Amino acid sequence: MRSFTVGRVWGIPIRINASLLLFLPVLAWLIGSGAQIETYATIVEGFAPGQLDVAALRAGATPWVIGAAAAVGLFVSVLLHELGHSYVARRYGIDIESITLWIFGGVASLRSVPREWDREFWIAVAGPIVSVLTAAACYLAVRFLPLPSGVVVFVVGWLAVTNVTLAVFNMLPAFPMDGGRVLRALLARRRPYAVATRTAARIGVGFAFLFALAGVLWFSPVLFLMAFFVYGAATGESRAVALDDLLDGMTVADLMARDPPTVPAETTVGAFTDRLFAERRTGFALADGGDIAGYVSIEDLRRRKLDDDAPVSAALPDPVPRVDAAADAFEALAELSGAKGGHALVTEGDRVVGVVSQADYARAVQLRRRAPSEGRPTAF
């Protein structure tokens, strides 16, 4: 689903995912209906200076006002939680691409995840610490401030309880939640980072199955969806770290194909296809006035569905993806994965020196897996 930028904090784009916009009314209804108000009113009365009038809280449209205010307050709390992660990451010199609020909470996208265990530890625990501090501020407001109405007392007290719950839940060692990242950081003190990640990911998968089981037993769709999220994120992170480990020390120049076979950019699609089959290739670089204009594969032709008389250059993506030859191979893979066709031109300065593809990455990974741990080749 799409995300929309709604503002910036410390220069970090704050985005709201469409899933959150769909879920907020549901959350407001869940909070304002049924026995939720009565249950939480009893908890809030435990630290509020006086009793709450439950009948007044449940009268007329008041439950929906409470539900809407509490739902928005919850996601403001989630934003503060993610800003906690972001603040500590920035103190370590790590840039934050964005903070996105969505149906399962929030995500602070770091440009790089530190492999130093102590840095990851403090970045991970910063979010739950902020949630606890937010809960403490709400508790003190209910306990000592003359809040204007019982509705405000209830909502602020509810946020105090919910922020404690948020902190505790996030500290479960279910990777990639905060607790799982803390676990990986502690494991990485005495073992390789990739091994620590695999161990934390396995524990995360175990929690995913527990969430799924609880979702079935309690008929909770949210827990069931959480199980899928934790499972997918844990296994995905484990694969990404393993890939990063295999590509460690390599640049795009180590993977790219130099001086790739070319065809003129004005070649027709029909002639281009004939040459593909004649030479048993899946694609060619396009030459334009002595320069390489891009790379077109058979998948590009299938996607564009061009006439045989059209120039094959019409199948080029706009813009043509480019990566620097000196770029870290793993970091460049993210840009290449988003490129249509899975190919990118490799440049040195303003000059195109080759082409790199996802197939080049697959070949490099395969060779490194077969190579001994010491003396692995660094170029292919």
Catalytically annotated residues: 82
Tell me whether residue 7 is exposed, middle or buried, using C-beta atoms within 10 angstroms of its C-beta: 0 to 12, 13 to 18, 19 or more: exposed
| 3-state DSSP assignment of residue 15 | strand
**DSSP state letter for 311:** B
Confirm or deny that 81 is annotated as ligand binding: yes
Name the 3-class secondary structure at 50: coil
Structural element, H or E, at residue 72: helix 62-91
85 is in an annotated binding site: yes
Quick one: CA dihedral 376, 117, 94, 105, positive or negative? positive
Q: Are 151 and 65 in contact (CB under 8 A)?
A: yes
Question: In angstroms, rounded to a whole number, what is the distance separating the alpha carbons of residues 141 and 145?
Answer: 5
343 is in an annotated binding site: no
Q: In what order do the strands lie in the sheet with 12-17?
A: 3-9, 12-17, 96-102, 105-110
Q: Considering only CA atoms, which of 210, 204, 272, 253 is closest in space to residue 352?
A: 253
Sign (positive/negative) of CA torsion 193, 198, 203, 207?
Answer: positive
Residues 205, 210, 216, CA angle at the centre, nearest 5°? Answer: 130
User: What pairs with residue 12 in β-bridges?
Assistant: 9
Query: How do beta strands 322-324 and 96-102 pair?
Result: unpaired
**DSSP assignment string, 112-177:** S---SHHHHHHHHHHHHHHHHHHHHHHHHHHHHS--S-HHHHHHHHHHHHHHHHHHHHHTSS-TTS
Which run of H or of E encompasses 98?
A: strand 96-102
Binding residues: 81, 85, 178
For the annotated binding site for Zn(2+), the residues are 81, 85, 178
